[in-house]
Structure 1
Amino acid sequence: MGMILTGIVVTGAIAFGAGFYLLNVQPEPPAWQVFSTESTRVGDPGHNLVGQNWSGNPGNVSAESGEKAAS
């Protein structure tokens, strides 16, 4: 009987200690802040990704084939 009560008390003490520790831990910053760089070019993807003759307006291609361009 004593071992059972000791086990219950030890389990409660471990649970209390873990709860106290987890509530007082400083939160880590999110990954998008930790691994961000200022040199990433998001606004300028370059000239070689879409081809040399691309006008920047995808509606031009479908308008030439007789379809209405999406607006």
Structure 2
Amino acid sequence: MKVFIDQDKCVGAGQCVLAADEVFDQRDEDGAAFLLAEQPDDRHRAAIEDAARVCPAAAIRVEE
């Protein structure tokens, strides 16, 4: 599994961090989300898929 965040779409809502804080974090200067790991462990799959689903900007994409 590989995770991508479209930085141009991200609005800094932080829903991804709430859903999967071991995978996502936010920059202090603008609140934009970033990945702590592009290829996170499969044990985080459900949380990552939830983060992608709740992202208000649809900025998160998950690929196999």
User: Normalising TM by the smaller chain, what interval?
Assistant: under 0.3
Structure ranking higher in helix proportion: 1
TM-score by length of 2: 0.23
Q: Report which of the two structures shows the higher radius of gyration computed on alpha carbons.
A: 1
TM-score by length of 1: 0.21
